[in-house]
Structure 1
Amino acid sequence: MTGRRETLLRGGSQGIRVSRLAMAVGAGIFVGCIFAFAYPHGFFRSETPQTQQQRSSLQVSSAPCESSERTNLLKSEVNSLMEKNAGLKKQVRELTLKLQQEEQGKDQAQKQFLVLGKQHKAGPVGTVKSLRTNPTVLPDETVNPRLAKLLKKVAINRELIVALADIHVRDMLNVWSDSIKRVGIPNYLVVALDDDTLKYCESKGVPAYKRDPDDKVDSVLRTASNHAISGLKFQILREFLQLGYSVLLSDIDIVYLQNPFDHLYRDCDVESMSDGHDNMTAYGYNDVSEDPKMGWARFAHTMRIWVYNSGFFYIRPTIPSIELLDRVADRLSKAKLWDQAVFNEELYFPSHPGYDGLHASRRTMDFYLFMNSKVLFKILRHEHNFAQYKPVVLHVNYHPDKLPRMKAIVEYYVNGKQDALKAFPDGSDW
């Protein structure tokens, strides 16, 4: 009996336990149904609006029992999201346009640096060097096919000496070309400004080229003005640079004693002879100006340098170089100005209100190697060791009696006549 009672008791307790478990499961299912109905998307809605939209559309299609009001609500939400998306796209377009405008307004030097290469951090003191040598332009032979064909024969390493000449300077042209031949310079070309000069060069075996008829050139030649003819070179040189050639521009009143291409640096847009006669005037110096009325601030420091000679300079085919030629030619076409003054103003004047300066690099040639006639006749020939020094070129730019002085220079340096220069005064007679 005892054993049976224990069995019954044990069975009763197990039944109670099972019934409790069943009740708990049933309650859980009931509560779950309630929450499933009340919160169809769950407690934590971490989905993106796009995911919610997809889930909602699935529920609409898979739950035919859901009310039409719920469907309309979901549709309105979708429309609202589409409108917001369109608004965001418009904002993106506006911001992109503003960004482009900001990019266009950036500093030109910074933009140039970004084009030329990637940005770098500044190195240690003494190691930082700025850009000096601008890249050359892409050659464009369509500018002048006839000249392009000629330059392929004449130029060496895509560089050559170029001189402009008309029949009025034929005798100086003869001394000029003979000195070039004597030194052994093969890459040079005379731009003949008239038919007589072209025929003369051909008879002398001098490489020459005559431009096609040009009303602007013809009108300048009719004036027979040296300054007007000098201004032509800036227009004519542009084609050489566009074709991708570096030019050593030379006036005719120059005697060549060495090959100038052996003494160029080629690290700047423009490399020019100076009108200076010593280290200060040729390369620059600090000049102090005095104004006594200012009392304590009576002294003001200024930086000065004597001008570059626009009759002898080396110019590389770069964008700043071409811009320089365009600026000078434009100003000379609008007013009667001295081409050398305009040439230097465009090279040196900085940007200031109402004016954008030229971003061109420049180098001053060694004034003892590329010598002007003031250095020779006023200074050097009076030195005791003068006979032992031989410059690369001598430019008779300071004296109006050019031809006799050119011939005397040849007599002295080439033929060894020691007193060939003595008869000439330091300056001119007027």
Structure 2
Amino acid sequence: MIGRREGPLMRSNSSQSLLKSRIAIAIVIGVLIGCVFAFLFPNGFFVSNTIRNSNYNLAGSKTQTNSVACESSDRINMLKSQFVAESEKNAELKKQVRELTERLRLAEQGKDQAQKQFLALGKQPKAGPFGTVKGLRTNPTVIPDESVNPRLSKILEKVAVRKELIVALANSNVKDMLEVWFTNIKRVGISNYLVVALDEEITKLCESNQVPVYKRDPDEGIDSTGRTGGNHVVSGLKFRILREFLQLGYSVLLSDVDIVYLQNPFDYLIRDSDVESMSDGHDNMTAYGFNHVFDEPAMGWARYAHTMRIWVYNSGFFYIRPTIPAIELLDRVATRLSNDPNSWDQAVFNEELFYPSHPGYDGLHAARRTMDYYLFMNSKVLFKTVRNDPSLSKIKPVIIHVNYHPDKLPRMKAVVEYYINGKQDALKPFPNGSDW
């Protein structure tokens, strides 16, 4: 047999088939290898600097953002703490400012009165021509301080007229005289008056008669004395109580209850002094002062010594303005009376008003005025002089103070009969003085 022999064409087709198979296998192997590397190296073998830097910046940005957030939170907390601390400091500074302002106010009030007047008036004046110069007489009033007694302040706002009023202290020992007192005040038409009640009986009496009344808060040691004491005890107590009225900025016409009101006293006040008081004097010399010559023959050529005399102010009826000297007067008198209960308030009142400064003692620098003794009349002037003089009996006083006589209530009623009801013989039954 003869073997089959392939031709060139067949050999060529076989080689081509084998080549295609190898290429296909290589492609498959390459694809598999590519998949493996793609899985193992998703970013490839060669990562660009741009990508690295970008990733780094992104990571850094996140870190920085977190860092900034933490830092901002800490900063806010720190600022809050600083704000709280500064607020506390500010509150403390405000408190200190208020305290310093109050101290400054008190210091200003305590300055020499001439300096205060200078500050109030402004530019310091020059002395004018001879005979034209007049010194300052009216001291400035204090700044009202309502914190002293808020309850009393509200009462005074309703009762006072032009920041002034009549004030009387009373307990049940003077109940009958008090009724005569406020009955005539009402009759005259005076509205600005107030009774400081020292016990419940007086409070009820005033309330039942529509009389303005102020019952003080309990103050043991002071009020217990006022409830049971007589005229002199109550008279001494008034200096301490009056201080609050002045501190609140009100001028007070202090009145005992043994007084009959015939006219409105506010129409006759001058108001140019710290204290304006009625006198215990009975004529021009005793009421307004005089040159009394003291004779001592043993001195030979110098036997005559001149002295200045004036009868005392009556501490049961005086007008007092809310000034520093006036408040100092009340403090001085109240202190001396508390230290020496046996002292007489009227004597102490006058000593503090009139005694000048001397070694070991600083006198009170207060301006004072004596009231017209015919208008603001004491019972000595009335019963010893006026009722026996037809010309003087025609004068209508502003008030009659029954201070010289112990039989006060019947004489008060007689004054009402004489001046109000026109009974001409109403005063005749009474002696000039007292029976004892």
TM over 0.5: yes
1:152 matched to which residue of 2? Answer: 157
For residues 226 and 365 of structure 1, the distance between their equivalents in structure 2, rounded to whole angstroms, comes to 23
Task: Choose the corresponding residue for 1:255, options 260, 281, 303.
Answer: 260
Q: State the identity %.
A: 73
* Residues 235 and 123 (structure 1), Cα distance of their counterparts in 2 relative to 1, 3 Å cut: same
Where 2:169 maps in the other structure, the secondary structure is strand
Name the counterpart of 2:216.
211
- What whole-Å deviation, never above 9, does each CA across 1:112-134 have from its counterpart, x for those lacking one? 45433332211011111111100
Please report how far the alpha carbon of residue 356 of structure 1 lies from its aligned counterpart in structure 2 after TM superposition.
0.5
Does 1:291 find its partner at 2:296?
A: yes
- Counterparts of 1:155-194 in structure 2, within 5 Å, are 155-194=160-199
Counterpart position of 1:143: 148
**Are 2:119 and 1:111 aligned?**
no
- Output the amino acid matched with 2:120: L
Q: RMSD over aligned Cα, in angstroms?
A: 1.4
Listed as ranges, the gaps of 5+ residues in structure 1 are 1-103
Paired amino acid for 1:286: N
**Distance change >3 Å, CA 246–CA 300, structure 1 → 2:** same
Superimposed CA distance per residue, residues 277-314 of structure 1 (whole angstroms, 9 cap, x where no aligned partner)? 00000000000001111110000000000000000000
Q: Give the C-alpha shift of residue 162 in structure 1.
A: 0.2
What is the rounded CA distance, in whole Å, between the counterparts of 1:133 and 1:185 in structure 2? Answer: 26
Instruction: Report if the CA contact (8 A) 2:164-2:251 is conserved.
Output: yes
Tell me which of 260, 271, 276 is aligned to 2:276.
Answer: 271
Pick one of 363, 367, 379 that aligns with 2:369: 363
Q: Secondary structure at the match of 1:215?
A: coil
Find the counterpart in structure 1 of residue 306 from structure 2: 301
Q: 1:427 aligns with which of 413, 427, 433?
A: 433
d(CA) in 1 for partners of 2:358 and 2:113?
A: 16
Shift of 1:238: 0.3
Which of 325, 345, 353 pairs up with 1:347? 353
Q: Give the Cα–Cα distance (whole angstroms) in 2 for the partners of residues 396 and 236 of structure 1.
A: 23
CA distance in structure 1 between the partners assigned to 2:212 and 2:117 by the alignment: 40
CA–CA distance in structure 1, aligned partners of residues 433 and 135 of structure 2 = 41
2:321 matched to 1:322?
A: no
| DSSP-derived class of the 1:398 partner | coil
1:131 aligns with 2:131: no
Counterpart-to-counterpart distance in 2, 1:235 and 1:260: 24
Q: CA deviation at 1:223?
A: 5.2
- Aligned counterparts, 1:332-343, within 5 A: 332-335=337-340, 336-343=342-349
Residue pair 2:279, 2:314 contacting (<8 A) in 1 also? yes
DSSP 3-state at the match of 2:138: coil
Letter in 1 for 2:270: Y
Counterpart-to-counterpart distance in 2, 1:423 and 1:314: 33
Contact kept in structure 1, 2:379 and 2:401, CA below 8 Å: yes
Contact 2:113/2:139 (<8 A) preserved: no
Verify: 1:331 aligned to 2:353, yes or no: no
How far apart are residue 389 of structure 1 and its match? 1.5
How far 1:109 sits from its partner (Å)?
A: 5.6
1:282 aligns with 2:287: yes
Which range moved further: 260-269 or 225-234?
Answer: 225-234
Report what 2:384 is aligned to.
Answer: 378
**Cα displacement (A) at 1:142:** 0.5
* Partner Cα separation in structure 2 for residue 166 and residue 225 of structure 1: 9
Q: Distance in 1 between matches of 2:112 and 2:181?
A: 42
Q: Distance in 1 between matches of 2:200 and 2:296?
A: 58
Code of the residue aligned with 2:394 in structure 1: it is Q
> How has the CA–CA distance of structure 1 residues 319 and 141 changed in structure 2, closer, same or farther, with 3 Å as cutoff?
same
Aligned residue pair count: 325
DSSP 3-state at the match of 1:206: coil
Partner Cα separation in structure 2 for residue 112 and residue 149 of structure 1: 29
User: Structure 2 regions of 5+ residues with no counterpart?
Assistant: 1-107
Relative to structure 1, the CA distance from residue 110 to residue 144 in structure 2 (aligned partners, 3 Å threshold; closer, same or farther) is closer
Tell me the SS of whatever aligns to 1:301: strand
1:382 CA displacement = 0.4
Measure the CA separation in 1 of the matches of 2:199 and 2:161.
26
For the pair shown, which has the larger CA radius of gyration, 1 or 2? Answer: 2
Other-structure match for 1:388? 394
Distance 1:206 1:110 in 2: 41
CA distance in 1, matches of 2:294, 2:172: 47
- Counterpart residue identity of residue 366, structure 1: D
TM-score (norm 1): 0.74
- How far the C-alpha of 1:217 sits from its partner, in A, is 1.7
Superposition deviation, residue 387 in structure 1: 3.9
- Please report how far the alpha carbon of residue 222 of structure 1 lies from its aligned counterpart in structure 2 after TM superposition: 5.8
Match for 1:161: what amino acid? I
CA drift at 1:384: 1.9
Q: Does 1:399 align with 2:405?
A: yes
String of CA shifts for 1:150-202, please: whole Å, max 9, x gaps.
10100000000000000111110010001100100000000000011001100
* 3-state SS in 1 of match to 2:222: helix
Shift of 1:260: 0.3
Provide the C-alpha distance between the structure 1 equivalents of 2:227 and 2:198, rounded to a whole number of angstroms. 11
Cα distance in 1 for partners of 2:311, 2:354 equals 11
Residue type at the aligned position of 1:381: R
Which of 202, 211, 217 is matched with 2:207 structurally? 202
